[in-house]
Amino acid sequence: MSDFPAYTTKPTPDYWVHDLNPMMIRFPEGWPIEGIHWYGMAYVMGFIVAGVLLHVYYKRGKSPLNPDQQSALMIVSVLGVLVGGRIGYILGYMLSKNPNILIENPLIIFQVNKGGMASHGGMIGVWIALGWYAWKYKIRFWKLMDITVSLAPAGVLFGRIANFINGELWGKETSVPWAVIFKTHDSFGQTLYLLPRHPSQIYAAAMEGLLLLVWTQWRFWKCKLPEGQLVGEAMVGYAIVRIIGEIFREPDEGISLILGLSRGQFYSVFLALIGIGVIWWARQAAKKMPLTPGIGS
């Protein structure tokens, strides 16, 4: 990784130049907000899909959550993702650049335009939120987790597509035919063109989003699993595809590698180990009780 990615002022004509607008809708000048960003719409779409699936689960007897509980779950999950993802990015990424950043600027937590969200942090935030939710509504924690983990990949899918539209988190330099030329700007506002790179955001959307969504839905509907096993499988699955995807992704500028691994890969190793432990625990616990058809029964 180089601290200053190679670029040119004139892109090569052999590759597509990324020119997508990160704004879905731009409001007229003078409005209190600039407009609606694709990234924000990705969160909305992810939760809409999750809400639809929750409704289907309930109607088909795969979930005990009634409509009111479903609404509460969506709210709790949103807060868990946002708070956990933001704090995770600050602790896991920004502090490695500047250990004193929270002392120098405590409000950095709310300044999402200065760095974004960390998926691993979002996971932890959701787990904590679901722990509280399970306690409040007297629902078995691992049962709730299995239901929720089958919904999460939809949000990841839309989020990674939004990353591509935003032209962020691009991949490493490459000469593959589908490489993309992403744009940036220098301190004077001049447009610069990065050398052709992997569209790693699309790889991530396909693996972390679509692939895991298909996998978890198949396991949820068709397989007899002890409570908690789908959670462990999803953790291991996400860790594997994240580690693979990071091979093609340019590490964040200014953030050092750990044992030759990017931050995303390093954290994913621990996620996989925890997932294996959850699978083992679920299977051991299942020996004390009979398996039931499907996750939500």
Token pair of 241, please?
């595809």
Residue 97, SS3 per DSSP: helix
- What's the confidence (pLDDT) of residue 80? 87
Do the domain assignments include residue 274?
Answer: yes
Tens-digit pLDDT profile for residues 227-238 = 999 999 999 999
Q: What is the mean pLDDT of the chain?
A: 85
Q: Is residue 12 part of a domain?
A: no
Query: Does a structural domain hold residue 169?
Result: yes
For the CA atoms of 76, 157, 39, 261, what is the dihedral angle to 10 degrees?
A: 90
Residue 47 located in a structural domain: yes
pLDDT at residue 296 is higher than 60: no
Whole-model pTM: value is 0.83
Give 105-142 pLDDT, tens digit per residue.
Answer: 766 666 555 556 677 777 888 889 999 999 999 999 99
Confidence check: pLDDT of 71 > 70: yes
* Residue, of 2 and 202, whose pLDDT is higher: 202
Q: Is residue 10 predicted with pLDDT exceeding 90?
A: no
CA separation for the pair 253, 249 (Å, rounded): 12
Question: What's the pLDDT at 118?
Answer: 73
Residue 169 per-residue DSSP state: S
Residue 124 belongs to a domain: yes
pLDDT at 1: 43
Task: Provide the domain count of the chain.
Answer: 1
pLDDT at 297: 40
**Helices 212-222 and 152-166, interaxial angle, to 10°?**
170
pLDDT bucket at 32, cuts 50 / 70 / 90: confident
For 258-284, how does the pLDDT look when each residue is reduced to its tens digit (9 = 90+)?
Answer: 777 888 898 899 999 999 999 999 999
Nearest CA among 145, 169, 154, 284 for reference residue 211: 154
pLDDT > 70 fraction of the chain, expressed in percent and rounded: 84
Burial class (CB in 10 A: 0-12, 13-18, 19+), 161: buried
Question: In this structure, is residue 292 part of a structural domain?
Answer: no
The Cα 148–Cα 163 span in angstroms is: 23
Higher pLDDT residue, 14 or 247? Answer: 247
Q: Is residue 14 part of a domain?
A: no
Average pLDDT over residues 215-222: 96
Other residues' Cβ atoms within 10 Å of the Cβ of residue 193:
18
Domain that holds residue 140: 22-286
Residue 6 falls inside a structural domain: no
What is the predicted pLDDT for the residue at 135?
Answer: 94
Looking at residue 2, what is its pLDDT?
47
Predicted confidence (pLDDT) per residue in 47-63, tens digit: 899 999 999 999 999 99
pLDDT at 7 over 90: no
